[in-house]
Structure 1
Amino acid sequence: MQNDVTALNNHFDAFLEHCGDLLIYVDLKFKIVMINSTAEVILNMSKNEVIGQNLFEICKCNQMELSFTEEDLERSKKLKSEFVDGYIIYSQGQRRVMLWKQIFVNNQQKSYGYFLIFGKDVSLLENSKKKDSILTSACLNNVIIENLPEYIYWKDLSFTYCGCNKHVSDYLGLSSPKDIVGRTDRDFGWPEDRVETLYKIDKKIIETGIPSIVEDIIPRPDKSERIMLSSKTPLRDDNNNIIGIVGVSVDITAEKEAERLRLEVELNKTKLHEQEKFRKNANQVAHDIRSPLTSLAIIAESCKHIPEADRITLRKIAASIGDIANNLSTRYKPDDPQTHTAGQIVQLIPVSLALSEILSEKKYQYKHSSVKFVYFCEKDANFAFIKVEPIEFKRMISNLVNNAVEAFEGKTCKVDLELKLDDKFVEIIIKDNGKGIPKDILDKIMCNIPVTSGKKDGSGIGLTQVCDTLQRNHGKLSIDSKIGKGAKITLAFPKVETPVWIAEKIKLNKGDTIVVLDDDESIHHAWEARLEPYKSDLKLKHFTSGKGTIDFINASVAKDKIFLLSDFELINQDLNGLQVIEQTSMYESSILVTSHYADQSVHNLAIRVGIKILPKQLASEVPIEIEENRSVSGDFKKVGLVIIDDNELLVDSLVDFFQNKDVVVDAYYKPKNFLDRLSQYAKDTKICMDNDFNDCMTGVELAKQLYESGYTQLYLFSGKDFGKDEIPDYLKVITKGDLVGISKLV
């Protein structure tokens, strides 16, 4: 405080000594900080005698009486500052008539303040006109206002500037304070929304008489900006009528920047510290689980007598733990520049199946706890896909479910897992009835700072991994939490198109024989129950042997009325389901029903031969459509040409071109949409396709699938020059732009 006093002395010394009026500065305990020479004369005391002494105690000791008290000074903190009539009575009974004004001056940090006591000896003045002249004296306006470090300005009732100090005129690029007179806020080139905001603030002050304090960013003529703390208060006349507004602004730009940098440094220090703890925990976890993981993997591979459902579950658990261990050990190696990058391949995953697997693991994990898990999937979301890093995605959901379970205190825990779908996003919702997430924890989560959600032994790995995974996989996070009620976490991922190899529906004809091939008897019972509503239209045949299935289908005289639902993995047999389909040529009339839907090699094999895959877990959800059986060729659509190209403008132009020639054309922008309707077209239909689709198959691959299904009129519509061995003999190439070749198609 002593430094502040010294600075204040230096600041005001120039005018204090030359002002003809009494000026006294006292602190909050009414101890005199400084006085000018006029005050020395009026008080009949020197500076050395009074500085540091209580003003009222000095007056009492010297038998002097002031017309104001300590309470009057305290009231000046809250009331507007006005001149009031008063006096000084000396010990000899001499009386001076004074005009007093007490001003409370508060520093920016509000840790201390001062009272400025201004006194004008008006003993010789005889009328109010002379008093009014004192109110506008040069001492008050030109000395005090001009020497204060704040930006001071005042306006009339029409919000027109009537004056300011030099700080304001310099800031606004004016030659002198006089140049502001007659201007309004619109005259400084400020944005209209800023001008409108200032108008509303000023208008409210005039109407209510209530001061306003706002933090404001004020533009300068050179386009730079400064942050100001602006205080505006009504300006009143002697009759207490509002006649304008006085504004005082303090530049706090440096303080704001310093605070921002301080918070940033603290945040970075916290993040570095927590990330180091995170890395150590991750490496320790990876190290500790490798030994039991080895034993689990051996059991999963060697126990062939275990039922298929249990084998699959055991295998997935072992693989999941192994993935986590490997990811931790590689991702968080010390001093590794790749420490904070996942390095995983983004893949398409069926969300409903991924969530079901995680929930199965959680039910087993918490089977001895009073935890109730509820899973709800919207009907349309069963076949929803998203693009994510599969391992990290599962870890993320697992961490969130763990947090939900660990959030309840002394009551039955209920965790809801929901999957919803709209036009653009797939939403995963995790709700619990736990204690909720405090606001400070929520703020840390959004800043990607490792937190433990209040868990006793938490490391912060879980929530940090959630934020990292969402950021890398274009996901969005929202949290709705109520203390004592629970939390609702919503993850939103961009929806992607269902891949061509997925069977979103089973399309059958009346009179078809459905052949079910699976080595697990329970699957046969499941299909019987699933097809029960259609038993009057369909026949059902069961096989556990791949060889027996091949013999039955190939010996059938009505092979075109057979539809095959085949498992992929046939235990202790030389064949798998894909080989059975190939050896019976049931490409168009079969679906691979398997738990190996996530195996990329199975995807590739299925796409290569044009077979769709139905995950076993969705067999109870897949829609089944029964159509009238087409027995004659006349039941097929009669079209001159089918065009498949993802360039919509080109396709529409070709359709118009052929329609002008009276040719019926069916157009598709995606191979998947065409394949879903393939059975509508006769085998001799002319089919023209692009080669480059934004999908997982090329035109050449599509043509191979069609050819193996019996279609012979196949054309590749491309602008690429193909090599000699790139195009099979059954596929003819037409160059884009070759109108003659295009015309010859029909």
Structure 2
Amino acid sequence: MNEVYNALIENYPELIIVTDLEGIIIDVSNSFIKTYRIEKKEEIMGKSILDLLIFQDRERAKSNFTKIIEKKSIKNQVYRFINSDGQYFLGLTNSCLIPDLKEKTSAVFTIVKNISNYERIEADLKESQKMFQLVIDNIPQFIFWKDLNSVYLGCNKNFARVAGVGKPENIIGKKDQDLVWRDSESEFFYEIDRLVMELDKPEYHVIETQLQADGKQAWLDTNRIPLHNEENEVVGVLGTYEDITDRVKARKKLEKSEKKYREAYNQANFYKDIFSHDISNILQNIQSANDLLNIYLNSNIENRIEDRINDLVDISKTIKEQIMRGARLINNIQKLSYIEESRINIKKLDLFDILNESLRYISNWKYKYNVNIQVDTPHNSLYVYANHFLKDIFENILINAIKYNNNKIVEIKINLKKKKRAERNYIQLDFIDNGIGIKDVRKEKIFQRAYNKDKSISGLGLGLSLVKKIIESYNGFIWVEDRIPGYYSKGTKVILMIPEAQ
């Protein structure tokens, strides 16, 4: 036993102090002699161990020394020791009660480990961590980092705020499922984390949505980077993102504004086209009629009335018709303006009342054309959601069926029936004529006399483009088919579907 004791006293690197039960030093190790720069042990022996401590730690040390006697040992006590230069160092002490081999009595054996450097390193580390947290807390971006299981290891204040955890340290140990995000968002975040870590490849500028703690639905521009240890192994993921919600809203607002002004520009060009083409056409016809009238008026005075009365009547009719065409054009443009400005109200209307009123108007054409119109329906009453423009639609379709027809007898059949489409109830109207028909390549174009569309389509004013706009304002549909499939020249079928009103 003496050999072990002597080996410790002579060679143990930490300080060893042996005292009696009163705390009086009776032996020290060679490492103690070197640390305190004394010539021999006798210079320190006989002094109290408390004399080695600064004054503020002595009372606590005295109390703990009593506990050593009672409990046989006491561990991990830190005191400030005074060295030979008058400076103090931190000493971690472990003390126990042992028998004094020389005197056959008990003694206190204390090992002192200088931990000043460890404390300094720990303090520096804490200061470094504090500075790091201070830096990332003052960065405007949102920052977080996770381990291999996507468990949060830390974040900055901005991220803690939107995550609803208060302080950054409260994020530690949590997963995305524990935070305020939607379930779908949490799953998406997890999948992106896995992708970055498993492929060991960063993902930059991933646009994500995030429901934040204050209820805000945010748009994020996110970067995720794999984290590596000293062996270059992936140990986690670092994420940073910028809130681009205002930018996204501004872009959408700008796109909406651009669309609005683009439509306004196209609308202006559309109206310009209507007036430059159609009004010019009307004025040219009136001018031609007027020139012809002047020829008649300047011809032989004796013959001009008696012999050419019929020609003059025709000229007068031509001028009147062109004036009426101009009036209809202006009326159509006004209607289109109402539709585009959403100034029309949709309401429940009796379909038969509207159709009969249109048929009465068309009856005036029977004096000029031989027209036979039949209406076929199994229903006694039908109601639709529409407005007063529905009458204009019917009249437009019926007039086209009469005008574009080379037969001696103009045959028009109108079928009405109920139809369901996409779980909604409609009234379908089929206007079937025996006219010249419409080629397949023009079946869609006839509805396109509108903004920046094909200007080669002949016809006056808005026509079927206006009809289509009105039908769409009802959430209805319109299209054209051949009366006999595959034979366009045998006539046309114009099909309308208008939402049914109960």
With the length of structure 1 as denominator, give the TM-score of the two structures.
0.30
Structure with max Cα Rg: 2
1 or 2, which has the higher helix percentage? 2
More RCO (CA 8 Å, sep 6+): 2
